[in-house]
Structure formats: structure tokens, C-alpha cells
Amino acid sequence: MATEDLYSTDSYLREFQAVVQRAGPDGVVLDRTAFYPRGGGQPGDTGELRAGNEVWPVTRVQRRAGDIAHAVEGEPPEPGTQVTASLDWERRFRFMRLHTALHALSGIVWTGWNADVTGSNISDNGERARMDFSLEGIRINEIKQDIEDGLNESLAAGREVKVYELPREEAFQLPDLIRTHVNLVPEHIRQIRIVEIVDLDRQADGGTHVANTAEVGPVRIVNAVNKGRINRRLEIALAD
């Protein structure tokens, strides 16, 4: 049975109870988890599992053939063990803020310059995040300040961030849902998870986000690079 993911419906869940299903070379598989597995440009969570007096630090989380595997230090807990799991919340919340900031950035650049996203990533240490755009005929430094000003104005407006699912056929009727050059949502996924920043951005997405853009705080564009004729890269960092 595939791991029940709890992060999809509650990004703020930082501690939970679970039962060990099995443990192997890839890590410990639980029946349910709030740990986000690396994917979609967002790093996986870290934290710990506890049972009685034993503690297993969780150092890496990845999706493996439908399961979510938690790499732990030391000899893993036995199948059937009930554990209390807790996330490194400071790290997770930083990723949530950066991920929402990237979606807001996408909305600003799409609205202002009709630019598709060609890639994005959050650094493992949470210090920076980047997004690449297809933007021909404009040098990125010419519009960098306008983008940063618009981004911070939109974040400070306290826009609600909604997360919901729609049937695939209905979801793909929404204009501008897929901002990438290629639709990266596998065909077998029939329910599409959507993250919507009200009146700014709406995208198919599987990651974790804050509930309101005001939680992101101010953001700085720390690097702007023209990569070839079309590709433009913006790197952002939280100001606090």
C-alpha cells in the first residue's frame, strides 16, 4: 500500500503518528507521512522518528515507486513499530515561503511579460531559489527592479493561497495552468493538485506552501542572468 501523504492537505503539520511498514536500503517506509519527498524543485524534509527512548534522525526523504522512503541514521526501526515523527520545522517553513515566492514571481513575470517558466529550484540550504523564463528580446536587468517591486507588492498584499484538486480534464481547461514549455504532469495522474494565489497565479503543483503571501515576507532578487538568446534566470532570497 502506498504511503499516505499528509503534506498535500496540511503543509503546517509538523508532528504526527505513523507505523513502520518496512525498512530497506532506501530507508524507512511509513503508512503515512508529513515529510515532503524531494521533487518538483523542492528539497525533501529532514527531522526525526521516535519510539520510546530511541530516536532516528531523518536525513533524506525521497519517493520510491509510490512509497516515500525516509533515510535514517543507525539501525532502522522494525516493521510494525509505532513512531512519533517530527519535521525540522524551521527548514520546512523556509521552503514553504520560498516556494510560494516562486509562484508569485511566476505570476508577476507571466502577467507583465507573458514569459513561460523553463525551470525552477530551491537550494538545499534554503538560502536561495531560482526560476528560469523564456523571454526573448529583453535583457533581464532592464526589468529586474520592476519585477522585484511588483513581487514584493503582491506578497505584502496578503493574498490567500488556496490548495485544491480538480479532475484532469477540468483542470486543463483552465487558462495558463501549465506555465512550462512541456506539460510535466504524468498522464496517469487523473486528479490534479492546484495551488492558487488569489488574483495572481494558478498552477498545477505538488509542493508545500504558506497559506497567505504575507507569511513570505520581503524578497530580494539577488541574481539576474541572461542565459543565451532566450533563457533568463532570476534568483531570489528571503530578506530575513
pLDDT band, very low/low/confident/very high, at 185 (cuts 50, 70, 90): low
**Does 6 reside within a domain?**
no
All three cell numbers of 137, joined, read: 528580446
Q: For position 112, which CATH number holds?
A: 3.30.980.10
Q: In terms of domains, do 144 and 212 share one?
A: yes
Residue 198 or 181, more confident: 198
Range of the domain at 197: 92-238
**Does 128 reside within a domain?**
yes
Q: In terms of domains, do 109 and 80 share one?
A: no
> Could you say which of 64, 87, 110 is where a domain stops?
87
User: Which residue type sits at 9?
Assistant: T
- The mean pLDDT of 187-213, rounded to a whole number, is 90
Q: In terms of domains, do 52 and 161 share one?
A: no
Longest dimension (CA), the chain: 62
Which runs of consecutive H residues, i.e. helices, occur in the chain?
89-113, 140-156, 168-171
Q: In terms of domains, do 109 and 219 share one?
A: yes
Q: What is the pLDDT of residues 87-127, one digit of tens each?
A: 999 999 999 999 999 999 999 999 999 999 999 999 999 99
Q: In terms of domains, do 48 and 114 share one?
A: no
Residue 187's pLDDT is: 65
Please state, in angstroms and rounded to a whole number, the distance separating the CA atoms of residues 122 and 138.
25
Question: pTM for this one?
Answer: 0.93
Q: What are the strands of the beta sheet with 219-227, ordered from one edge?
A: 116-122, 129-134, 231-238, 219-227
Q: In terms of domains, do 71 and 100 share one?
A: no
Please state, in angstroms and rounded to a whole number, the distance separating the CA atoms of residues 181 and 191.
21
**Does 119 reside within a domain?**
yes
**Does 117 reside within a domain?**
yes
User: Which residue type sits at 163?
Assistant: V
Residue 47's pLDDT is: 98
Residue 179's pLDDT is: 58
**Does 1 reside within a domain?**
no
Q: In terms of domains, do 69 and 119 share one?
A: no
Q: In terms of domains, do 72 and 140 share one?
A: no
Q: In terms of domains, do 97 and 24 share one?
A: no
At residue 57, does pLDDT exceed 60? yes
Residue 180's pLDDT is: 56
Residue 182's pLDDT is: 45
- The mean pLDDT of 197-208, rounded to a whole number, is 94
Going by their DSSP bridges, the two strands 27-30 and 219-227 should be labelled as: unpaired
Q: In terms of domains, do 228 and 118 share one?
A: yes
**Does 165 reside within a domain?**
yes
Q: For position 32, which CATH number holds?
A: 2.40.30.130
Report how many domains make up the chain: 2
DSSP 41: T
Residue 170's pLDDT is: 85
Q: In terms of domains, do 39 and 140 share one?
A: no
Please provide the DSSP assignment of 142-162 as one string: HHHHHHHHHHHHHHHTT-BEE
**Does 104 reside within a domain?**
yes
Residue 65 or 155, more confident: 155
Q: What is the pLDDT of residues 8-56, one digit of tens each?
A: 999 999 999 999 999 988 899 999 999 999 998 999 999 999 999 999 9
> Between vectors from CA 104 to CA 211 and to CA 219, what angle results, nearest 5°?
90
Q: Where are the beta strands (DSSP E) in the chain?
A: 4-5, 15-24, 27-30, 32-33, 47-51, 54-64, 67-72, 82-87, 116-122, 129-134, 161-167, 191-197, 201-204, 219-227, 231-238
> Could you say which of 26, 56, 87 is where a domain stops?
87
Beta bridge partners of 5: 33
Please state, in angstroms and rounded to a whole number, the distance separating the CA atoms of residues 228 and 230.
6
Q: In terms of domains, do 202 and 96 share one?
A: yes
> Could you say which of 20, 53, 87 is where a domain stops?
87
- The mean pLDDT of 131-137, rounded to a whole number, is 93
Query: Of all residues in the chain, what percent carry a pLDDT higher than 90?
Result: 80
Question: What is the distance, to the nearest Å, from the Cα of residue 180 to the centroid of all Cα atoms in its chain?
Answer: 16
Residue 105's pLDDT is: 98
**Does 5 reside within a domain?**
no
Q: What is the pLDDT of residues 215-230, one digit of tens each?
A: 999 999 999 999 888 9
